[in-house]
A and B are shown apart, each in its own frame.
Chain A
Amino acid sequence: MTWLIKVIMFVCIVPTVILMYMLGFSKNPGRKKLILGVRDNPKFHEGEGQKKFDAIVDSARNGGLIITVAVVIMSIIMLFLPVTGNTLLAWVLLVFALFLVAVPYGKGNTELKNLKRQLGITKSGVTYTDITSTNVVHALKLPWVILPNALALIGTIAAVLIDLGVTGVTAAAEKYALTTMSLSFLFVSVILVPLAVMMDNTRNMVISRDSNINANYNRAKKKTWADIFVAMSWVNTLCLIAYDIVLVFTDSEAGVYVGIVAYVVVLMAIVIIGVINQNQIERRYERDTELELQDDDDNWILGMFYYNKNDTRLNVEKRFGYGGTVNLAHPAGKVIGVVSLLVLVGSVILIIYLNATGQLDTSAGV
């Protein structure tokens, strides 16, 4: 069943890289509020400015496209290679290669910021806040996201009890397979709840002088987020429960892998639907946008990492990709940033170590 491992990796990597490319490098940059993480400005579309702007955007788009195509081709080639420790290592490194798509984005971001300076575009320093919708616009119904994740916790406890032999039921799968599988899904649950709350509490955007428009716009966006997290929570929990049941009765390795492929495909579909919905909302409210957006481009390092000492917020909406990110100048943001970096570097070192010691070969069944 090693071919299914390759399918899982392929299903994870290819849609992600395509989505990253589509979100980072817009086909119609002139129609977006942000281009390569830089706020659009009328001076970008006048005379010499337009030429330089087009050159920067085209270069970034081409760079992003080359990396995307390279990752897709590599994934296709690796589908046909036998599963060994080395190819498993290559697959994992290919996951990290996804970050390379951010390189032309970051380069383009820096060039556009330089162009802003050349064109004499200075930030206005103006921020708008709608006090009517402060702390009022929310779309997440907390019980709807807690309920599935609480069920996941119950499912995990049941799995542990079965594996410990407390329930008198003996699982057909090998010892502790049930617990390991359930804990993996529970780990996702534990991440989903705070993320859902975080996205529901992101700052409301002020696009209009009409408070009702602002409230509707922000509520629509937060509703999309809430729906994504609720859907993901239910999918995650249903998978956990399905695995608990399947592993009690059978020890089918194929069933496990097929389930994982289906799980990843459904999660990807949820994210894609979410992105489509968000784009539709942006288009719907395009004509209602009458206020100038805050120019905080300089607080976005490479257009990806938010660092603003004067901002007390922890979570902000991402500029590259889809979702939220943290303010790295916030004390909690610094901790999250360092931990994420350590996990990332640690994972690469661990995988290389496992391959060097031949343990990846064992996992691959070689």
Chain B
Amino acid sequence: MIIRIDEYSDVPIYMQIRNQIVMGISSGELKPGEQLPTVRALALEIGINTMTVSKTYQLLKQEGYIMTDRKNGARVRENISQSGVISEENKTELRRIVSEARLSGVAKETLKNLIDEFY
């Protein structure tokens, strides 16, 4: 799975990594139980501080996407808890995207098709 880091983005690097790992799990690129690189290895590969990757992994663990232990490192969770609810943060983000799309003249149907494609 390829991670794209943009050093000029407003989104912090730890969040960029987190978002793309979440997308990878959702799309199936990262399979349940799949081993993730160690904090040190991933930090060295991207060329960033280990603390940044550590922060990403802690966040992903808190959110229930991955599990970590000393012996096996980080792995994608076999069973990710499904609350069936969109978080307030994501609702706000979605509202922004829909608003921008409407202002740009994007048809509702096009947006729906995109959601179907990404879901």
Interface residues, chain A, CB within 8 Å of chain B?
124-132, 134-135, 203-204, 206, 209, 211, 214, 291, 308, 310-313
Nearest Cβ on chain B to A218's Cβ, whole angstroms:
11
- The range of chain B's interface size is 20 to 34
Q: List residues of chain B with CB within 8 A of the CB of A308.
A: 47
26 contacts between A and B (CB under 8 A): A124-B6, A125-B8, A126-B4, A126-B5, A126-B7, A127-B47, A128-B3, A128-B5, A129-B2, A129-B3, A129-B46, A130-B1, A130-B3, A131-B36, A132-B1, A134-B42, A135-B41, A135-B45, A203-B44, A203-B45, A211-B2, A308-B47, A312-B44, A312-B47, A312-B48, A312-B50
- B37, CB-defined interface residue at 8 Å: yes
Q: Is the interface of A mostly helix, strand, loop or mixed?
A: loop
Q: Is the interface of B mostly helix, strand, loop or mixed?
A: mixed
Interface residues, chain B, CB within 8 Å of chain A?
1-9, 21, 36-38, 41-50
Q: List residues of chain A with CB within 8 A of the CB of B44.
A: 203, 312-313
Q: Tally inter-chain residue pairs, CB-CB below 8 A.
A: 67
| Contact between A127 and B1, CB atoms less than 8 A apart | no
Look across to chain B and name the residue whose beta carbon is closest to the beta carbon of A206. Answer: B2
Look across to chain B and name the residue whose beta carbon is closest to the beta carbon of A126. Answer: B6
Give Cα A125 to B2, complex, Å. Answer: 16
Look across to chain B and name the residue whose beta carbon is closest to the beta carbon of A130. Answer: B2
| Contact between B47 and A313, CB atoms less than 8 A apart | yes
Interface residue from B1, B8, B49 paired with A131 (Cβ < 8 Å)? B1
Q: List residues of chain A with CB within 8 A of the CB of B6.
A: 124-126
Q: Are A129 and B43 also in contact (CB < 8 A) when A135-B37, A209-B2 are?
A: no
| Contact between B5 and A135, CB atoms less than 8 A apart | no
| Contact between B1 and A211, CB atoms less than 8 A apart | yes
| Contact between A134 and B45, CB atoms less than 8 A apart | yes
Interface residue from A129, A132, A135 paired with B38 (Cβ < 8 Å)? A135
Q: List residues of chain B with CB within 8 A of the CB of A313.
A: 44, 47
Nearest Cβ on chain A to B11's Cβ, whole angstroms:
12
Top 8 closest pairs, chain A to chain B, by CB: A135-B41, A134-B37, A125-B7, A125-B8, A311-B47, A134-B45, A127-B5, A129-B3
Q: List residues of chain B with CB within 8 A of the CB of A132.
A: 1
Give Cα A313 to B40, complex, Å. Answer: 11
Give Cα A130 to B36, complex, Å. Answer: 11
